[in-house]
Amino acid sequence: MFFCKNKSINIFYIKCNTISCYFYQKSRKSLIFAFAMKRILKVDNPNVYARHVGAPVLHPLLSVVHFDEVSPLRNSLNNYGVYGLFIQREFPNNLSYGMKKLQVGDNSIVAVAPGQIGGGEDNGEELYLSGWAVLWSPELMGNSDLEERIREHQFFSYFAIEPLHTTESEWSSITQLFAMMRDELLTQEDSPLLQDVLLGYLRLILEYCSRIYQRQIANEDMDIGDLLKRFNALLEQYYHEGWQMEKGVPTVSYCARELAYSSHYFGDLIHRATGSTAIRYIHSFVINQGKNLLMTGHNVNETSHLLGFDYPHHFTRLFKKIVGITPSEFLRG
């Protein structure tokens, strides 16, 4: 997820920002912008990463990396256009996931999805790692049940509780599946039958991950933090499904109803959790999506429409209220 070895691969400068994975999948934009310039490797297919760490290219839509064989490595910060699972005995320090710092314990799994940014900038330090990674293109899942079911796996979300912590038995089973998948790639020619076998391995690995995730959820106190996760997930789903085109910008009453609260009680809970109002939380979420659209080439009118505003000046007024400047000034800056 986070490492580089082949310095011949071009690393370019782009601006990065916290984004909604689902919203970015829907917009299908390849550029990501932010408030500070960072070196980011664009992993728009699995083999970009495989080549980058010096692993063999085994399939056009899927790569399997055994880090024990390609170490030493160096950190890299990656913009993913693919899905990925990384299982390590010990992850490097000072990793990021979106705009958050990520602390990963031993024998853990980190999942990434298209539209996400994760890793750590290269500081010149060489790393010796023990573990595996599998990365696959969304195209591999096309017209399969896994294409829909992948959205049910919450551990791919930026808002997931934490990396997945495996038991020793789970570690052994999952890494064995990674090794078996690589053996298939090394010994079998690409065909629809091979792709079915690869999807079978992925389904099984994801079921292991789902079981680990559910165990961690059960151990987590169901407090206001859980409500914020569900609130954020609801807003992501709202824009992923395109409901804003019919219903407009989401409202507090809509979110409260979907989360099974009265509007007043829901507002009190959000205020206790964030120190601000529920409508402010919604508006901040929406304006963040607006920034992504503006910075990926949409003009103010297009962005206003895609976010569900009735009129562009409504979007402009809210943008200035939240950000402090107009959308046009934001673009010029």
Instruction: For residues 168 and 313, state if they share a domain.
Output: no
Instruction: For residues 203 and 233, state if they share a domain.
Output: no
Instruction: For residues 232 and 214, state if they share a domain.
Output: no
Instruction: For residues 128 and 71, state if they share a domain.
Output: yes
**What domain count does the chain have?**
2
Which CATH number does the domain housing residue 254 bear? Answer: 1.10.10.60
Question: Last residue of a domain, which of 219, 248, 282?
Answer: 219
Contact 6, 51 (CB under 8 A): yes
Put simply, whether the predicted model's pTM sits higher than 0.75 gets the answer no
3: its two tokens? 């490492």
Instruction: For residues 182 and 271, state if they share a domain.
Output: no
Instruction: For residues 288 and 185, state if they share a domain.
Output: no
- Residues spanned by the domain of 29: 3-219
Instruction: For residues 11 and 47, state if they share a domain.
Output: yes
Measured in whole angstroms, the distance separating CA 204 from the mean position of its chain's CA atoms is: 21
Q: What is the pLDDT along the chain (333 residues), one digit of tens a residue?
A: 544 444 443 333 333 333 333 333 343 333 344 434 457 889 999 999 999 999 999 999 999 999 999 989 888 888 899 999 999 998 887 787 765 677 787 899 999 999 888 888 777 788 888 999 999 999 999 889 998 888 888 788 765 557 899 999 999 999 999 999 999 999 999 999 999 999 999 999 999 999 998 887 666 545 677 888 899 999 999 999 999 999 999 999 999 999 888 787 788 888 878 889 999 999 999 999 999 899 888 999 999 999 999 999 999 999 999 999 999 998 887
Instruction: For residues 42 and 191, state if they share a domain.
Output: yes
